[in-house]
């Protein structure tokens, strides 16, 4: 350890003697490290934020809808009763099968009137959405076809202001509905839009009986095993074709699979941009190699003296390799600091759209340390070997 500290001290002293040149050499590492840390940190933070927000919506359903490109789409039209047929056919492989509608209706309450999207829902809930008031649609409300409604926070504010909405009534397309719940705002305006800001949710039985007696837009399937969404969708199509004919065609969309693809794309984009930033590290490494070769040529006589008093080839190589790694580490840590600052700033802006973001500080520090040591070691090896291979007599003569 004493010997290592002696090498370290000598390396610092050597770099300090040429501090202007050392700082200029580190600029490449600073720029490269800062760019990689910023891109990598932002992409990881955004991906974690998106994943956490999607997770708050609970299990993603499999969507089954009529393929409108077929010759006779009306023959294949999904009917309200088909939900029970498909549920019976799927048995234990599906936790829930419900018909789904979404329509815009006039909403009236307390002299205020607006046109708002009304969606159907069932009693199967795996989400982690916070309720500001009341509760989500329950099994009893679905079974009884109750005229109840769950509102998003902006709808509740529009019609009831700061007053509690639960227990009050509003009219949906002329019918009187009791407000039974209000969703709290989802963190991040992007996900408020994604989830359907300005939305009213009613039991699907109530929607069918009171609002729209036509066929549902699609069926929502919740597989008992989320990893078997594709198989569940195919089984549902088979059940529908048994009712509507083998020539009826349907489309299945596994939303869970789509979310995984979306997250993979984000990860791939981050990795690609980080790889582009890594080019700057290669350039920085070449700069370190160049300066170390210059340093070797400037210190030929010093190398000869060291060897003449007993320094081994390993001692000389380690000395110059230590200087190279210190240059790389210095630039890497400064770049890491700059990158973390930019990452925190960008994350604070993105959090307004995506909700709370988690910055992987440990991963960032590990990445910066690994790249810095790797660049210093790889690009400092050749100058170190060249210095170690010098003949001491020829070096002293120079």
**Domain identity same for 244 and 266:** no
Domain count within the chain: 2
For residues 164 and 218, membership in a common domain is answered with yes
Cα distance between residue 270 and residue 266, in whole Å: 6
What's the pLDDT score for residue 189? 46
Query: Which pLDDT score is estimated for 89?
Result: 92
Same domain, 72 and 51: no
Token pair listed for 73: 């789409």
**Residue 163: how many other CB atoms lie within 10 Å:** 11
**List of the chain residues with pLDDT < 70:** 1-4, 6-7, 49, 51-58, 186-197, 256-259, 262, 270, 274, 277, 352-356, 395, 398
Same domain, 13 and 101: no
If asked whether residues 133 and 216 sit together in one domain, one would say yes
pTM over 0.85: no
Q: Of the candidates 90, 179, 200, which has an alpha carbon nearest to the alpha carbon of residue 133? A: 179
The reply to whether 220 and 347 lie within a common domain is: no
Closest CA to 280 of 328, 347, 322, 341: 328
Contact criterion met (CB below 8 Å) for 161 and 78: no
pLDDT at position 258, please? 65
Angle among Cα 342, 343, 345 to the nearest 5 degrees reads 65
Last residue of a domain, one of 205, 229, 255: 255
**Domain boundaries, position 334:** 2-55+260-397
**What confidence score (pLDDT) does residue 381 get?**
86
The answer to whether residues 210 and 291 belong to one domain is no
Query: pLDDT (tens digit, 9 = 90+) per residue, 257-315?
Result: 666 776 777 777 767 776 776 777 788 888 888 888 888 888 778 878 887 887 788 87
End of a domain among 218, 239, 255?
A: 255
One domain for residues 192 and 215: yes
- Domain check: are 204 and 91 in the same one? yes
Query: 3-state secondary structure string, the chain?
Result: CHHHHHHHHHHHHHHHHCHHHHHHHHHHHHHHHHHHHHHHHHHHHHHHHHHHHHHHCCCCCEEEEECCCCCCCCCCCCCCCHHHHHHHHHHHHEEEEEEECEEEEEEEECCEEEEEEEEEECCCCCCCCCEEEECCCCHHHHHHCCCEEEECHHHHHHHHCCCCCCCCEEEECCEEEEEEEEECCCCCHHHHHHHCCCEEEEEHHHHHHHHCCCCCCEEEEEECCHHHHHHHHHHHHHHHHHHHCCCCCEEEEEHHHHHHHHHHHHHHHHHHHHHHHHHHHHHHHHHHHHHHHHHHHHCHHHHHHHHHCCCCHHHHHHHHHHHHHHHHHHHHHHHHHHHHHHHHHHHHHHHHHHCCCCCCHHHHHHHHHHHHHHHHHHHHHHHHHHHHCCCHHHHHHC
Tell me the C-alpha distance between 107 and 1, whole Å. Answer: 78
Q: What's the pLDDT at 226?
A: 80
Domain's final residue, options 209, 230, 255: 255
Residue 369 and residue 318 share a domain: yes
Asked whether residue 18 falls in the same domain as residue 118, the answer is no
CB 105 within 8 A of CB 116: yes
| pLDDT value of residue 193 | 47
* CA 124 – CA 222 distance, rounded (Å): 9
- My answer on whether 209 and 137 are in the same domain is yes
């Amino acid at each position: 350890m004493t010997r290592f500290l002696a090498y370290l001290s000598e390396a610092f002293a050597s770099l300090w003697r040429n501090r202007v040149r050392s700082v200029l050499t580190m600029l490449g590492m600073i720029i490269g490290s800062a760019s990689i840390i910023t891109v990598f940190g932002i992409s990881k933070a955004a991906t974690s934020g998106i994943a956490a927000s999607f997770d708050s919506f609970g299990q993603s359903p499999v969507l089954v809808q009529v393929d409108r490109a077929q010759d006779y789409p009306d023959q294949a039209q999904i009917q309200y009763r088909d939900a029970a047929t498909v549920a019976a056919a799927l048995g234990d492989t599906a936790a829930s099968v419900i018909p789904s509608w979404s329509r815009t209706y006039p909403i009236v309450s307390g002299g205020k009137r607006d046109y708002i999207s009304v969606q159907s829902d069932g009693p199967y809930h795996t989400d982690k959405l916070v309720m500001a008031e009341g509760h989500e649609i329950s099994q009893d409300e679905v079974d009884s076809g109750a005229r109840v409604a769950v509102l998003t926070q902006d709808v509740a504010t529009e019609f009831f202001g700061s007053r509690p909405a639960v227990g009050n009534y509003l009219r949906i397309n002329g019918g009187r509905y009791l407000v039974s719940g209000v969703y709290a705002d989802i963190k991040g305006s992007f996900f408020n839009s994604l989830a359907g800001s300005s939305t009213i949710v009613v039991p699907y039985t109530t929607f069918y009986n009171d609002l729209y007696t036509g066929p549902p837009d699609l069926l929502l399937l919740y597989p008992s095993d989320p990893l078997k969404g594709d198989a569940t969708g195919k089984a549902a199509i088979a059940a529908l074709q048994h009712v509507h004919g083998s020539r009826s065609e349907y489309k299945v969309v596994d939303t869970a699979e789509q979310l995984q693809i979306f997250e993979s794309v984000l990860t791939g984009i981050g990795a690609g941009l980080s790889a582009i930033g890594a080019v700057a590290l290669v350039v920085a490494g070449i700069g370190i190699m160049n300066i170390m070769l210059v340093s070797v040529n400037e210190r030929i006589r010093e190398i000869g003296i060291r060897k003449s008093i007993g320094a081994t080839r390993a001692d000389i190589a380690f000395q110059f390799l230590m200087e190279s790694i210190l240059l790389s580490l210095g630039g890497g840590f400064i770049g890491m600091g700059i990158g973390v600052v930019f990452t925190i700033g960008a994350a604070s802006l993105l959090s307004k759209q995506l909700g709370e973001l988690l910055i992987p500080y440990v991963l960032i520090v590990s990445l910066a340390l690994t790249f810095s040591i790797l660049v210093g070691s790889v690009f400092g090896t050749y100058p170190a070997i060249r210095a170690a291979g010098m003949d001491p007599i020829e070096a002293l003569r120079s």
